[in-house]
Chain A
Amino acid sequence: MVGNDVQNLQKILNTDPETLVAETGPGSKGNETSYFGEATKRALIKFQEKYRGEILSPIGLFAGTGVFGEKTREKMNALNAVPAQPVVQAPKQVVAVESKNEIPEALVEKGDVMVMFPSRYSGTPGTMINISGAGFTATDNTIYFNDTHAVVSAKSWNGKDITFKIPSIPKGFYRISVKNPRGESNKDQFFIVTDGVTPAPQIESASPTSATRGDTVVIKGSGFTQTGNMLLTGVGLFKDVSSSDGTTLSFIIPMNIPRVTTSPKMQKFSHPIWIHIVNANGVSNEKSFIMEY
């Protein structure tokens, strides 16, 4: 975390008397700096401990760490987000809104807009999520769900995160992307809008625990759909996998996975491979097996 990021962080910490970076001098309100030192770390720890239930407890911590991680960022975004106005409109109407807020092109710093990943991949309308990425502008990001729905005027306090509520759109699989005066992002990330009633897939086990090329991996669990399950694994993406009983899925580890050349120092190489299941009802938890190369 460097430069403007630190300065923005200090500004946010200084909005709460309980988390002031400093009362006077460098780091105090109006004198925020780009240096992440002990004072900033102390204030960040106070912030984390103030919101312990949302930042620390979910990851098994009690005391603040002073590390600006994902949970801290989410909480800070949620506190500092201008009340979300998840306006859901057809793309043509979105364009009209954008043109109203148009920034003269000469004043816009062009750069790559990137969507890395959302904080979660499924949820009901109203779910608060964070998109991590780069190139977001302060006020005028439009978040697209496919080309059919959009959230306009989404704000980003640091250019790297946007926190917003999932709008009231129909259940389904949506590609998410962000467009702003800097450009348009990649479209390789997704979000599944669920109804909150049908249970999401759950993985209970994956066997065998250790496998190699050509082996069949069997996944046991619940919430698998008869067709249309997508298996996201470290050995490949398996689309439209069927489950006749809703509790079993399987895939074969492809033979064409490159081999790792060993050395006298490393005779054998293995690594955990994680599995997630995606279907119309959401995204599962993860399970892993050891891949022997």
Chain B
Amino acid sequence: MFFLIIVVTAFSVKVRTSTALVGFGGKVLFITVCTCTDGALAITVGAPTPGTYVYTPLTAMYSYYNFFNPGTWITTGFYNVFTPFIPGPWVLGSYVPTTLPIASACWIYAGEACFPLPTDGIITNMGTSLEVTSSATTYI
């Protein structure tokens, strides 16, 4: 069963061939905690370059370190997905495209084993906006 899921997943995502850095940017939609990969978070962003990109402890962060906001997270596994879908801050950076899901830098625990989360790639550097607008996370 585990093998089958891996195979199905492998053919259901886009395969990229480039190894060059690619720019990405958009509003953070939600964040997935990679429960089998220490320190990794999968950040799903919207337009203008929608996708899911993996933050790791090696990601170079620039001001304003603001991507991890309440209202923009959290999913921690297939069995407990929580996505409030309140857009968070803007992020802008570069990533190295992932060629196969098996090479994913984000693995999550689901039931009895760890599975690779299909993502677009690994973030090398990233900056964020400062948010002063999200009423969902405002405390007066």
> Does B139 contact A230, Cβ atoms closer than 8 Å?
no
> Does B130 contact A116, Cβ atoms closer than 8 Å?
no
Chain B residues near A (Cβ < 8 Å): 20-23, 25, 33, 35-36, 38, 41, 47-48, 62-66, 68-70, 73-74, 76-77, 80, 82, 84, 90, 92, 94, 109, 114, 125, 127-134, 137-140
A-B contact number at CB 8 A:
124
Taken together as a complex, chains A and B put the C-alpha atoms of A265 and B107 apart, in Å, by 10
Nearest Cβ on chain B to A292's Cβ, whole angstroms: 14
Which residues does chain B contribute within 8 Å of A188, judged by CB atoms? 131-133
Q: Check if A134 is an interface residue, CB within 8 A of chain B.
A: yes
A238-283 residues at the B interface, CB under 8 angstroms: 238-240, 251, 254, 257-258, 260-266, 269, 271-274, 276, 278, 283
Grouping DSSP codes into helix (H, G, I), strand (E, B) and loop, the B interface class, with mixed when no group exceeds half, is loop
> Does A278 contact B35, Cβ atoms closer than 8 Å?
no
Taken together as a complex, chains A and B put the C-alpha atoms of A49 and B7 apart, in Å, by 47
Q: Check if A108 is an interface residue, CB within 8 A of chain B.
A: no
Taken together as a complex, chains A and B put the C-alpha atoms of A236 and B138 apart, in Å, by 6
Which residues does chain A contribute within 8 Å of B92, judged by CB atoms? 116-117, 132
- Tally of chain A residues near chain B (CB < 8 A): 48
> Does A262 contact B35, Cβ atoms closer than 8 Å?
yes
Which residues does chain A contribute within 8 Å of B36, judged by CB atoms? 263, 265-266
> Does A234 contact B128, Cβ atoms closer than 8 Å?
no
Chain A residues near B (Cβ < 8 Å): 1-2, 5, 36, 67, 69-70, 112, 114, 116-117, 121, 132, 134-135, 188-190, 230, 232, 234-240, 251, 254, 257-258, 260-266, 269, 271-274, 276, 278, 283, 286, 288
Which residue among A263, A271, A273 has the maximum number of chain B CB atoms within 10 Å of its CB?
A263
> Does B76 contact A261, Cβ atoms closer than 8 Å?
yes
Taken together as a complex, chains A and B put the C-alpha atoms of A178 and B90 apart, in Å, by 16
Closest residue of chain B to A263 (Cβ to Cβ) is B109
Closest residue of chain A to B68 (Cβ to Cβ) is A234
> Does B65 contact A232, Cβ atoms closer than 8 Å?
no
Taken together as a complex, chains A and B put the C-alpha atoms of A60 and B36 apart, in Å, by 33
Q: Which of B21, B69, B82 contacts A67 (CB 8 A)?
A: B21
Closest residue of chain A to B108 (Cβ to Cβ) is A263
> Does A286 contact B35, Cβ atoms closer than 8 Å?
no
> Does A236 contact B114, Cβ atoms closer than 8 Å?
no
Which residues does chain A contribute within 8 Å of B76, judged by CB atoms? 260-263, 269
A276-B64 in contact given A67-B94, A134-B25, A262-B35 (Cβ < 8 Å): yes
> Does A232 contact B33, Cβ atoms closer than 8 Å?
no
Taken together as a complex, chains A and B put the C-alpha atoms of A266 and B41 apart, in Å, by 13
Which residues does chain B contribute within 8 Å of A236, judged by CB atoms? 70, 137-139
Which residues does chain A contribute within 8 Å of B64, judged by CB atoms? 117, 232, 274, 276, 286
